[in-house]
Amino acid sequence: MDSRWARRASGLRGNIIKVLEEADAGIPVTASRLDLLTNVAFDILRHAAEDIPDIEAWLRKHDQGA
């Protein structure tokens, strides 16, 4: 099952594609809009990384129990 961060990332991806299409069509894209998308992208990455389990801690725990 996808995490909530994966769903948010998917929505962000759609927004980034829209901005790229606008820029490609010659529509000006404001720096503040790009800054917002960049900040949100890094926020999603940070939260998603926090959800990744610590495999080394998991292995230590299971090695001790064996």
State both tokens at 26.
């010659």
What does pLDDT average to over the chain?
Answer: 88
Q: Report helix, strand or coil for 64.
A: helix
Number of domains composing the chain: 1
pTM: 0.69
**Which residues span the domain enclosing 10?**
4-65
Please compute the mean of the pLDDT values over residues 49-55 and round it to a whole number. Answer: 82
d(Cα 45, Cα 66) in Å, to the nearest integer?
Answer: 34
d(Cα 35, Cα 44) in Å, to the nearest integer?
Answer: 14
The answer to whether residue 1 scores a pLDDT higher than 50 is no
Please compute the mean of the pLDDT values over residues 46-58 and round it to a whole number. Answer: 84
